[in-house]
Amino acid sequence: MIRATWRSLLFLVGVWAMSVAMPMGSLLWAEPSKGKPEAGKQIYMESCQHCHGPTGKADTELAASLTPRPADLTAKTTQSKKDGQLRKAIVEGVPGTAMSAFGEAFDDQQMADLIAYIRSLKP
């Protein structure tokens, strides 16, 4: 009985240690659920196309005036990023650029939809 109690205690300590070592921010790296590109397109057109352009190529007048220029979402460098990396950039923004943090602007499903749409821009 004592061994079972110690094992239970060690298990609980291990769970606690993992929760301390992996704060909630690490969930940004988790892959989102499958999104719907058609729903993501609406979010993109409302929130992203002003800088990244309607086709994702960052070819708008506004994009040309920004330094550095916004990411071309159709480029291999962007498309090769993991979903969690794209999510992190959207949520936290990108320091040194005009990409501001959208924080909690989108719920999990909206984020999955937006990322699915960004993936659909792949040439």
Identify the weakest region by mean pLDDT among 2-11, 30-39, 103-112: 2-11
- Among residues 101, 104, 44, 30, which one has the least CA distance to residue 74? 44
Please report the pLDDT score of residue 2 as a whole number: 53
Whole-angstrom Cα Rg for the chain: 19
Q: Coil, strand or helix: which one is 34?
A: coil
CA distance 72 to 42: 19
Tell me the average pLDDT across 3-22: 49
Q: Which two tokens stand for residue 72?
A: 């071309």
pLDDT over 70, % of the chain:
73
| 13 pLDDT more than 70 | no
Angle at 54 between CA 101 and CA 64, to 5 degrees: 70
pLDDT at 117: 98
**What is the tens place of the pLDDT at every residue in 46-69?**
999 999 999 999 999 999 999 999
